[in-house]
Amino acid sequence: MSYIVPIGPYHPALEEPIHAKLYTEGEVIKDAEVFVGYNHRGIEKLATERNAIQTLVLVERVCGICSHSHALTYAMCVEQINGIEVPKRGEYIRVITAELERLHSHFLWLGVACHIIGHDSMFMHIWDERELIMDLLEELSGNRVNYAMVTIGGARRDIDDELKAKLLKSLDKLKGPMDRIVEIALNDKTIALRTKGVGVLKKEDAVRIGAIGPHARASGVDVDVRRDSPYCSYGDFKFDVPVQESGDVFARVVIRALECYESIKIIEQALRNLPDTPINLGNKLLKIQKGSAVCRHEAPRGQLTQMVVGNGGFNNHRVSIHVPSYKNTPTIPFMLRGNSVADAGLIIASIDPCFSCLDR
Amino acid sequence: MQAYKRTDISKDQVVPIAEKMRKAGVGLVMIHGYLNEEGKMDISWDYAVEPVIESYHVVGEDTLPTISGIYDEAAAWPERELNEIYGTVFEGLDMSKRLFLPEEMLETQGKGHIMVTPLEELRAKNIKEG
């Protein structure tokens, strides 16, 4: 018997609205389609009526999890158009915030993945440790989400010696529990049985559809903007880019777990070598000069691209935001084919989707 | 700072460049578009030739060839988006379904698209429709 099974836009296994239509033959999914656009807020349109500082606030609200990434990429675009050189210390603080954000985003996803496969004790362990990272972000920026750490020409808040020592100590404290979490994730039978061989995305499909970020790296595509096209002093730090070949949900768990270690490595290097320069160039409102810029940032979910066009006035002429989920969502039908209906929720969630980002 | 190289091309070169890039294994970053100050569409195909973004611009064309046959959804989604918000036509692309905006906002070519219409007009329309 063949049925069409609709999932979403509101569904317990989805944190955000997406609609998937599954064409099934018995238990097996033969084909699938995804529909997005349930969260469109017209942010790109609104940005054309805002000046640079207002837009920083606006783009930060595109997404709750990767809010720093949006503000950072927008600031990079404006700095490129206006030819602003950011002080080193400002760049380092931006990197520290970005990596803390990646840590908290990956912990969040690992927790959610464990929850979906029914491993709730693991979910609670992971989210317990995530609180430590949230506390660090709160200490650093004053906020748990929407950190407002970026301004045009640098960072908005400094890290003093006391906070630096505290951050380093807390990261050390995080390593023990992290080792335990990674060990369970890699060796636990419950997780392996529900994720190994599920939702496989082949390397050639990933390349053709343009998957990016941890999702692509789990399918053997070696891409990372931080390494390939360094920005924001990322060239100063030593870190590895983990790549897995199998392309199933298990590989995505492994990639995100391993990336947490790399983020800690980067934060530690940045904190230890914090340069002694000003953190920004002042908060004077500037005109966005004539010209355009395209900047990319490796957000927790992959490459975030923004284009900003200025026309010499205070307001943007055009801001165009394209998030990693924009590239990763079209891969969902390819992963669903041949899997059982019961795994559909897990497979959709395995790209770490962010549909409020995607719809803008 | 990330490098960005702009090249202006004509409409006929879009597909050959895409084919060349696909063959070389270069990823399509995005297809961007905006109305420039003279009111002409400036559409750019941005390729990640690491560490540089090579950006190929076509200015002042309302109808363009699709490269969704070469880059699949990586090109089809941005093309559908541009069709929705600016009304640019990509020949050979299935544009019958909406990607982001509601079906009611499907209006005649080049009119009433969200990025072209002034914000005040959109606001008034929203209030009227509740």
Would you call B26 an interface residue with chain A, using a CB distance cutoff of 8 Å? Answer: no
- Identify the band that residue B60 occupies on the pLDDT scale cut at 50, 70 and 90: confident
Domain spanning A2-359: which CATH class is it, in words?
mainly alpha
Confirm or reject contact between A241 and chain B (CB < 8 A).
no
Q: What is the pLDDT of residues A1-23, one digit of tens each?
A: 788 888 878 877 677 788 888 89
Does B93 contact A at CB distance below 8 Å?
Answer: no
The pLDDT assigned to B103 comes to: 67
CB distance A311–B48 less than 8 Å? Answer: no
Our CA-based measurement puts residue A227 at a distance from the nearest CA of chain B, in whole angstroms, of 9
- The closest of B22, B28, B44, B29 to B88, measured between CA atoms, is B44
Continuous segment of H or E residues that includes residue B56: strand B52-59
Residue A150 near residue A141, CB atoms below 8 Å = no
Write the residue in A45, A49, A309 that is nearest to B34 by C-beta: A309
C-alpha–C-alpha distance, residues A61 and A65, integer Å: 10
Q: Which residue of A has its CA nearest to B103?
A: A37
Instruction: Give A147: exposed, middle or buried? Use CB within 10 Å, 0-12, 13-18, 19+.
Output: buried
Q: Would the CB atoms of A210 and B74 count as touching at under 8 Å?
A: yes
Please give the DSSP secondary-structure letter assigned to residue A30: E
The pTM of this model reads 0.89
Whether the per-residue pLDDT at B108 is higher than 60: the answer is: no
Q: Give the span between the Cα atoms of A358 and A305, in whole angstroms.
A: 12
DSSP characters over A295-341: EEEEETTEEEEEEEEE-SSSBEEEEEEE-HHHHHGGGHHHHHTTSBG
Other beta carbons within 10 angstroms of residue A304's beta carbon come to 28
**DSSP string computed for B62-103:** SEEE--HHHHTHHHHHHHHHHHHHT--EEET---SS-SSS-G
How far does A322 lie from chain B, in Å, by closest CA?
A: 8
Task: Note whether B4 contacts A294, CB cutoff 8 Å.
Answer: yes
Q: How far apart are CA A280 and CA A270, in angstroms?
A: 17
- Is B53's CB within 8 Å of A228's CB? no
Q: Which residue of B has its CA nearest to A206?
A: B74
Rounded CA separation A348/A332 (Å): 6
For residue B25, pLDDT beyond 70: yes
Asked if A40 is an interface residue toward chain B (Cβ–Cβ < 8 A), one would say yes
pLDDT tens digits for range A277-287: 888 887 788 88
Q: How far apart are CA A129 and CA A174, in angstroms?
A: 7
B51 touches chain A (CB under 8 A): yes
Distance CA A96, CA A269 (A): 9
Q: Whole-number mean pLDDT of chain A?
A: 87
The string over A83-110, giving b where at least 16 C-beta atoms fall within 10 Å of a residue's C-beta and e elsewhere, is ebebbbbbbbbbbbbbbbbbbbbbbbbb
Quick check: A49 and B119 CB within 8 A? yes
Tokens describing residue A318: 């055009």
pLDDT score for A208: 82
Name all domains of chain B by residue range, CATH numbers in brackets: 3-129 (3.30.460.80)
Of the candidates B48, B55, B98, which has its C-beta nearest A37's C-beta? Answer: B98
Q: Are the beta carbons of A177 and B41 closer than 8 angstroms?
A: no
CA distance A142 to A136: 9
Summarised one tens digit per residue, pLDDT across range A232-252 is 888 888 889 999 888 888 999
